[in-house]
Structure 1
Amino acid sequence: MAQREAAGSGAAGRSGRWRAFHDKFVVEERFVEPADRRGLYRASVILAIAGLALFIATLISVLQADGLSAADGPVRDWLLTERSATLTAVMIFLAVVFGPIALPIIVLVVIVVWGFAAKHAWRPILLASAMLSGVIISQIILQIVKRSRPPVDQMLFGIDHTFSFPSGHVLGACDFLLVGTFLIFSRRRNTRAAVLGFAGAGVGIILAAVSRLYLGYHWLTDALASVSLSLIILAGVIALDTWRTVRVPGEEVTGELSKAETRQD
């Protein structure tokens, strides 16, 4: 009897663990008004068009050495005149936070903690996918454009001989802040909080970009290209999330990996 009870308990435990693992990949589908869903798709299209237009304009200006890239030299020269010991220390700190070591660790911790804490892992998976997409896209463009960085004698935090267009630091910061903000506030109906969230993300992006320019590792157009690519990635996330999770009254929620939203994670 005791052996049968122990066996039953073990089977139940395995079944419970499997159910918990399975439920992580169930997507909660939320109901909104038709106009709200159209607004999400509209925002996605606008962001994609704006990002693509800005990237093309930036790329053409870099390849032809005119247009937007005409501001690269003056901006660099102005930042050179603003350098000081205190400001340099602040910019180095920002460069480390948004750098290739600290930022991936921060992102990984956020995704893992969010993934375990949330009942469903859809949003952490989306964030991870957006970050990985940014890395792949930036590496491809870097090898195609092969743009040289500013002179090495202007670099304040070690010498970097890799290509500069687009800025991986800025793209990573943009993807993490913009996509993360959307995924958090898209499930809340507090418009003011969402505005403040995106405003904070904007400040973080500006700080990340300025630190790279100030320290002498990138041109202004490198940062603009990164922002434009991040807008395209954000547009893709909004469209995918809307397609997968947003329903209007009257639509059914069906499928083994779908359920109606019951509460916020």
Structure 2
Amino acid sequence: MAEQAGKNSLWRTFHDKFVVEERFMEPAARKALYRTAVVLIGVGALLFIATLVGVLQSNTGPWGPDESIRDWLLSLRSETLTAVMIFLAVIFGPVALPIIVLVVTVVWGFVAKHAWRPIVLAAAMLTGVVTSQIILAIVQRSRPPVELMLFGADHTYSFPSGHVLGACDFLLVTTFLVFSRRKNPRSAVFGFVGAGIGVVLAALSRLYLGYHWLSDAMASVSLSLLILGAVIALDTWRTARIPGERITGELSKADAPGD
């Protein structure tokens, strides 16, 4: 009997982990989330299309302010700044960042009452990786000259920047998933400001070290805005309820008004 009870308890714990959380909010707040999602998707799509068209018209070479930004960053190079930029490139690189994402999602999944948000984060990161690889293969844009690269030669394609896209997705999506459940809007503002600083640093490191053009980073940021908008829309549709709507997640019933 005790063994059977233990098995039932484990199964219940596993089952409850995958009950999608639901939360109540005011109708105006939910509409604001949907509007934000639409704006992010629209801005991201327009910015990406504009960047892509410009890059293709330049025959995948430098476009717009690409060369002027590169020349400006070349004038700033120093041993200390290069060391800092290499550190940032490693943190947001294809080895360290996936490990960070894996640790965050696994730990978050075990600690949280519901696994919905870490699963959404993992799906968003995977979407960014797949999208980036598809676009890289289609556009086939060359990187800046190899002699300008400060951390080893890289002969792969550059549009969009996988480093920047990964950093944007991780920082922006994680910030939304964490602070969307907080009642204090000021904390969300601080969270997104911090995420924005991280995005800028990730992009600067790739440009400074000579691996990408500015337009590569712009394309990555625009794609990340698209993914963030999709995450906000999906999360709001699946978890946000207004008073009077039915709650379907068993573990969320205690959150209903008046309970």
1:125 aligned to 110, 119, 122, which one?
119
Query: Are 1:209 and 2:203 counterparts?
Result: yes
Flag structure 1 segments of 5+ consecutive residues without an equivalent.
1-7
Which amino acid is the alignment partner of residue 46 of structure 2?
Answer: A
Q: Cα deviations across residues 236-262 of structure 1 (Å, max 9, x unaligned)?
A: 000000000001100011266x73364
Which amino acid is the alignment partner of residue 185 of structure 2?
Answer: T
Flag as ranges the 4+ runs of structure 1 deviating above 6 A: none
Give 1 or 2 for the bigger CA radius of gyration.
Answer: 1
The equivalent of 2:35 in structure 1 is 42
**Contact 2:24–2:255 (CA<8 Å) still a contact in 1?**
no
- In 2, the alpha carbon distance for the partners of 1:155 and 1:149 equals 10
Q: How does 1:102-181 map to 2 (within 5 A)?
A: 102-181=96-175
TM-score for the superposition, normalised by structure 1: 0.93
The equivalent of 1:17 in structure 2 is 10
Query: Are 1:191 and 2:185 counterparts?
Result: yes
Q: Cα deviations across residues 189-225 of structure 1 (Å, max 9, x unaligned)?
A: 1111100000000000000000000000000000000
Which amino acid is the alignment partner of residue 99 of structure 1?
Answer: G
TM-score for the superposition, normalised by structure 2: 0.95
Change (3 A) 1:218 1:261: farther
**Contact 1:94–1:211 (CA<8 Å) still a contact in 2?**
yes
Three-state SS of the structure 2 residue aligned to 1:70 is coil
Three-state SS of the structure 2 residue aligned to 1:74 is helix
Indicate the RMSD between aligned Cα atoms, in angstroms: 1.4
1:260 aligned to 247, 253, 258, which one?
253
**Contact 1:28–1:261 (CA<8 Å) still a contact in 2?**
no
Query: Are 1:242 and 2:236 counterparts?
Result: yes
- In 2, the alpha carbon distance for the partners of 1:18 and 1:262 equals 23
- In 2, the alpha carbon distance for the partners of 1:195 and 1:159 equals 39
**Contact 2:124–2:231 (CA<8 Å) still a contact in 1?**
yes
Identity, % of aligned pairs?
A: 70
Three-state SS of the structure 2 residue aligned to 1:187 is coil
Which amino acid is the alignment partner of residue 250 of structure 1?
Answer: G
**Contact 1:171–1:226 (CA<8 Å) still a contact in 2?**
yes
How far the C-alpha of 1:159 sits from its partner, in A, is 0.5
**Contact 1:170–1:205 (CA<8 Å) still a contact in 2?**
yes
- In 2, the alpha carbon distance for the partners of 1:132 and 1:111 equals 12
Three-state SS of the structure 1 residue aligned to 2:65 is helix
- In 2, the alpha carbon distance for the partners of 1:194 and 1:97 equals 24
Three-state SS of the structure 1 residue aligned to 2:155 is coil
- In 2, the alpha carbon distance for the partners of 1:98 and 1:36 equals 33
The equivalent of 1:228 in structure 2 is 222
